[in-house]
Chains A and B, each alone.
Chain A
């Protein structure tokens, strides 16, 4: 039992390491050779544009749910005036990036893993090598960058919709005047909240890209292998995102304390 746990822990850490190395290789390749702009746009269209509806939909409801929940808490203290700021802040800093990244890992990430995995098991990737082209440069690099950029943009769009969703539900359902709601936002949402949201969005995008590309690229065992890897990639992405969320919340909190306390910003 303990041996099983230890082995699975070790292999998880091993996979993490390999994924990191792979991500590093792809980024190195991008820095060295760049990637054709047209190919990048095409990939962004393929992975990104088709996820806009889902993201907007999710973002709206995340914002609405946060507004309702926080309203219930604030009402007990008669502090409804803080609704706009508090719900926008919580959405931006934590719940928003996390939930939207989860949705994106199921869409953008799964698509990428399945596509690269299919190309691997049908020997398209081997064929590219035999024809003298580096598949990392030709196939993986543009997809990786497209996933990072699309996920980031989608997350930002999702966060903005979430704040809009919060304001709307506050006006329609909770009887909070929209102007009051919006005016309250800047009193609690600081540059740090925005920075936190943006930084998390970027890091989560990189995680989705690295895991989905690595898992797709290393697929074996035919069609069943593709299915297997799509599944394990999405689970792995979610776990890593949660851990990264924890780490980032800590670091950015620490950085904020440092800047305000020590530097007096």
Chain B
């Protein structure tokens, strides 16, 4: 379980998170929705130690993580796999090396099992083994996102953190990625925390939806509950999908 307790974070003058509290249950697919710039990425980055809170506590499986050293954070990073908004592949390495990067650094599998492990992750995201030798620049954006997902799956995380997985994808690719998130979560029994501003996708694929605004959760519930929600921001989000 992941739990945020009254987490606050400011950058300069700007209070981004203001006593933000929420939790993610084991095994669920949770969508976190909010307008651009409200701090959705910042929230996610707390879980992998890229951002530290000014105050408040963050628990991952009962362990408080905001005070951990960079070294101690390695454990958390094995558990929480981040899929960035941009594919963020290392452009000097080919697809295979990109996917194997975390496997080596975090010692997920011994070298003898590495190749099989990496190719299996590519298969999970529906990429043929032949892409392994290609460079990121030779792939379409959608394929790069898949490689990026495979790279995160390769560290075998218990929690998958998706930062706007479908932003700047066409509707077909959006559906493919949403289906992947859904099937992988169920198949691999991972917990998924998905950041998005796509209410349609959330209503279709989420177990639970939270809406964040001004640094706090302003509404939340199952997709069925959210359809009935009266909060104006939620109505705005629903507007597009009514």
Q: What residues make up the interface of A, taking CB atoms closer than 8 Å to B?
A: 119, 122-124, 126-134
Determine whether the beta carbon of B90 is less than 8 Å from that of A132: no
Stretch from B31-39, B74-82, B178-186, B207-215 at the A interface: B74-82
Q: Which of A119, A123, A128, A129 contacts B85 (CB 8 A)?
A: A123
Q: Which residues 29-49 of B sit at the A interface, judged by CB distance below 8 A?
A: 45, 48-49
Chain B residues whose CB sits within 8 angstroms of the CB of A133 once the complex forms: 101, 105
Q: Which of B70, B81, B86, B91 contacts A123 (CB 8 A)?
A: B86
Q: What residues make up the interface of B, taking CB atoms closer than 8 Å to A?
A: 45, 48-50, 70, 74, 77-78, 81-82, 84-86, 88-91, 101-102, 105-106, 151, 155
Chain B residues whose CB sits within 8 angstroms of the CB of A132 once the complex forms: 74, 77-78, 102, 105-106, 155
Determine whether the beta carbon of A124 is less than 8 Å from that of B106: no
Chain A residues whose CB sits within 8 angstroms of the CB of B88 once the complex forms: 122-124, 126-127
Interface centre among A119, A128, A130, A132 (most CB of B within 10 A): A130
Determine whether the beta carbon of A127 is less than 8 Å from that of B49: no
Determine whether the beta carbon of A123 is less than 8 Å from that of B106: no
Can you pick out 9 interface pairs between chain A and chain B where the beta carbons lie within 8 Å of each other? A122-B86, A124-B91, A126-B50, A126-B82, A127-B88, A127-B90, A130-B82, A131-B102, A131-B155
Q: How far is the CA of A124 from the CA of B82 in the complex (A)?
A: 12
Interface centre among B49, B82, B85, B88 (most CB of A within 10 A): B88
Determine whether the beta carbon of B85 is less than 8 Å from that of A131: no
Chain B residues whose CB sits within 8 angstroms of the CB of A127 once the complex forms: 82, 84, 88-90, 151
Determine whether the beta carbon of A128 is less than 8 Å from that of B90: yes
Q: How far is the CA of A128 from the CA of B45 in the complex (A)?
A: 13
Q: Which of A119, A124, A130 contacts B50 (CB 8 A)?
A: A130
The answer to whether A129 and B74 touch (CB under 8 A), given A123-B85, A124-B89, is no
Nearest CB of B to A25, in Å: 12
* New A-B pairs, 15, CB < 8 Å, besides A126-B84, A128-B90, A131-B155: A119-B90, A122-B86, A123-B86, A124-B88, A124-B91, A126-B82, A127-B90, A127-B151, A128-B101, A130-B48, A130-B50, A130-B77, A131-B77, A132-B78, A132-B102
Instruction: Name B161's closest neighbour in chain A (CB-CB).
Output: A130
Nearest CB of B to A117, in Å: 14
Chain B residues whose CB sits within 8 angstroms of the CB of A134 once the complex forms: 70
Q: How far is the CA of A119 from the CA of B105 in the complex (A)?
A: 19
Chain A residues whose CB sits within 8 angstroms of the CB of B48 once the complex forms: 126, 129-130
Nearest CB of B to A36, in Å: 13
Chain B residues whose CB sits within 8 angstroms of the CB of A128 once the complex forms: 90, 101
Instruction: Name A127's closest neighbour in chain B (CB-CB).
Output: B88
Determine whether the beta carbon of B101 is less than 8 Å from that of A129: no
Nearest CB of B to A28, in Å: 14
Chain B residues whose CB sits within 8 angstroms of the CB of A123 once the complex forms: 84-86, 88
Determine whether the beta carbon of B90 is less than 8 Å from that of A124: yes
Q: How far is the CA of A127 from the CA of B145 in the complex (A)?
A: 13
Instruction: Name B75's closest neighbour in chain A (CB-CB).
Output: A132
Q: How far is the CA of A132 from the CA of B48 in the complex (A)?
A: 10
Instruction: Name B85's closest neighbour in chain A (CB-CB).
Output: A123
Q: How far is the CA of A130 from the CA of B90 in the complex (A)?
A: 13
Nearest CB of A to B215, in Å: 20
Instruction: Name B92's closest neighbour in chain A (CB-CB).
Output: A42
Q: How far is the CA of A122 from the CA of B90 in the complex (A)?
A: 10
